[in-house]
Amino acid sequence: MDSTAHEDLLERARAWLAQDPDPDTRAELRALLEGAEVGDADALDALHDRFATRLAFGTAGLRGELGAGTNRMNRVLVVQAAAGLAAYLAERAGVDAAADDVAEPAPLRPDAPLVVVGYDGRRNSDVFARDSVEIFAGAGLRAVLLPRLLPTPVLAFAVRHLDAAAGVMVTASHNPPNDNGYKVYLGGDDEGSQIVSPADTEIAAHIQRVADAGDIAALPRSLAFETASEDVVDAYIEATAAVAPAPAGADGMTWVYTAMHGVGWETLSAILDRAGYPAPVVVSEQIEPDGSFPTVSFPNPEEPGAMDLSFAAADEARAEFVIANDPDADRLAVALPDPDGGWRRLTGNEIGLLLGWRAARLVTARGEGEGGAAAARPSLACSLVSSPGLKAIADAHGLDFHATLTGFKWISRAPGIVYGFEEALGYLVNPETVRDKDGISAAIAVLGLAADARREGRTLGDLLAEFDETFGVFASDQVSVRTDDVAAVGAMMSALRKQHPHTVGDVPIEQVDDLLEGVDGLPPGDVLRLWLDDGSRVIVRPSGTEPKLKVYLDVRAESSADAQSRLRALADGARALLDSLA
């Protein structure tokens, strides 16, 4: 680094230090500055990592590691984000907000947009939420803070329930312990869904203007925000209990639940009481919120080892199944006893198809399927990397089907949606109240399926077998290649686009869809979809969070043995294809 760049980096760090209200990140940054100023190479590298770029605001809002600097989650960045979002909402509503350089709060206007803010149990979530509502109120908006730490689905529900213009959830979901994030929802015509383009770029532009203006201390703040009453939480509990009230088969049902050190249990337990389900055996070590996540290395039910305590509790209780939420309770995992011993966590596709079949039967029972007006036809939706089995369900029940880009910001916007899912353990089962993935309402739906089956002397495993007999066996897998350089992932995608492969393994490729070209009415995306002549499907896309290329594999067969054999061969072929690109 030359001397000019070195001094510029130090000046940016000093400017940040001068406006940072957090004593912890100030101390962190001050120590790094002192080291860099005397030539400590490690301190200089750490400063460069924190200030070389800015944590980008996009359709997932903000998410990153806690710490000082523009490339970390911290109070400065959150205040800038809140002020930028406030300016965007005021502009969208055609009302005046407080100017960025005026420290006096703007008066609350009767037509001011309402913003509701929620937070989970991660480190600094409550602090970031409090900063946000003070900034929103200072900008002249009506700001409402949820009464305590709560699951993400409660915030998504509150946006619609309170007829809010927007909602903010402070959470990093199932990310590592030292991460946090800032997820934004829009009300009105967006119906409480997460933001999509162009809203993300417009909000980001407002945030950048706030950041360019300098000291966040100059931004107006106000304590004139509201704290939501328990009525909001009670309304969510009532609506979610109605998803699947307990049938007679629920009596005596033995099951295990873990909150994964997150915020799901308090809300779920109230819903269980309301819906009439027996209380589970809880994993006591993981049932209370704890942002340090002491019993897991990675608080994600998909990760190896994350559910080991659940399985031990299930063995001791001789449980029929295990249910887990991730830390903010927007995802759901389910595990069943393995006939060969131990426990098997169901894939997101297996759970998603069971819940999709349930939704289709409910629609059919209400007489809302085939024969309705085209504009009002109910539909099932999933991300394009999720199992094609959902389309088979929709076709069988006369429902529309939509494959979307990845993310519930897209799934929730599918026309006529009655159910949606994504293979990464996300399920939208109650779109009339929550337009996002919801691990709590999905848990209630799974409990309803289990109780109905139990009444007939069957299990969730029997329902999976019945699904295979009805629709055929849909089997899925993933392979990936990780690199040390994000640019290498782009280069591999470019190589695939320049020269499409002719086969995957020994199976010829029949058709290639490049979603950068906007296939099937989808917004452009960095995805290649390969259709093989035996009916298999291969999808290649970069990871949205890591420097790796991901490949999703799907086959459909008459038997489980045939499906697994074909899937293994397809996985081998996909690995060989990736090796040729690396």
Q: How far apart are CA 192 and CA 159, in angstroms?
A: 6
Which of 452, 428, 449, 455 is CA-nearest to residue 240?
428
For 91, the token pair is 């502009």
E strand map for 134-192: 142-145, 166-170, 179-186
Among candidate residues 507, 508, 546, 551, the one with its CA nearest the CA of residue 527:
551
**Catalytic site residues?**
173
Residues 6+ apart with CB under 8 A from 561: none
Q: Which residues, other chains included, contact 270 with Cβ-Cβ below 8 Å and sequence gap of 6+?
A: 237
Q: What is the DSSP letter of 96?
A: -
Tokens encoding 166 = 């927007």
Q: Taking the CB of residue 332, how many other CB atoms lie within 10 A of it?
A: 30
Look at strands 417-422 and 426-428 and give their pairing.
Answer: antiparallel
Q: Are 105 and 113 in contact (CB under 8 A)?
A: no
Pairwise CA distance, residues 176 & 297, whole Å: 8
| Alpha-carbon span 376 to 370, nearest angstrom | 11
User: What stretch of H or E contains 36?
Assistant: helix 23-37
**Comparing C-alpha atoms, which of 197, 206, 210 is closest to residue 524?**
197
Separation CA 150–CA 158 (nearest Å): 11
CA distance 329 to 306: 15
The sheet with strand 332-337 has its strands ordered as 281-282, 255-258, 321-325, 332-337, 343-345
